[in-house]
Amino acid sequence: MGTQDKETALFAECKWTNEKIDLSVLETLVERSNLFSYKKKHFFLFSKSGFTKGCADKGKELGNMSLVTYGKIIRKFN
């Protein structure tokens, strides 16, 4: 978790496994963010192996979620 100001925070989680991240990981991250009273929340999930369709669909639906794969990071810096 990181904060920008009194109203804005970033919540993130990284999974380094050979399994795709599923919807439950995204939901847990969002639930945990509700322990804090920030009005503006941004979410990031970092994955070695990608994301299930359910997780990707929910991420798009939320609009403030970035799903980042290891491959995407490598391509960015090459």
Give the phi and the psi of residue 66 in degrees, each rounded to 5. Answer: -115, 125
Average pLDDT for residues 36-62, to the nearest whole number? Answer: 96
State yes or no: pLDDT of 77 exceeds 90.
Answer: no
Neighbouring C-beta atoms of residue 37, cutoff 10 Å: 8
Domain that holds residue 40: 2-77
Q: Which helix (H) or strand (E) holds 76?
A: helix 70-77
pLDDT at 16: 93
Looking at the structure of the chain, the number of domains it has is 1
Q: Is the pLDDT of residue 76 over 90?
A: no
Q: Two tokens at 27?
A: 């939901």
pLDDT at 33 over 90: yes
Average pLDDT on 24-52 reads 96
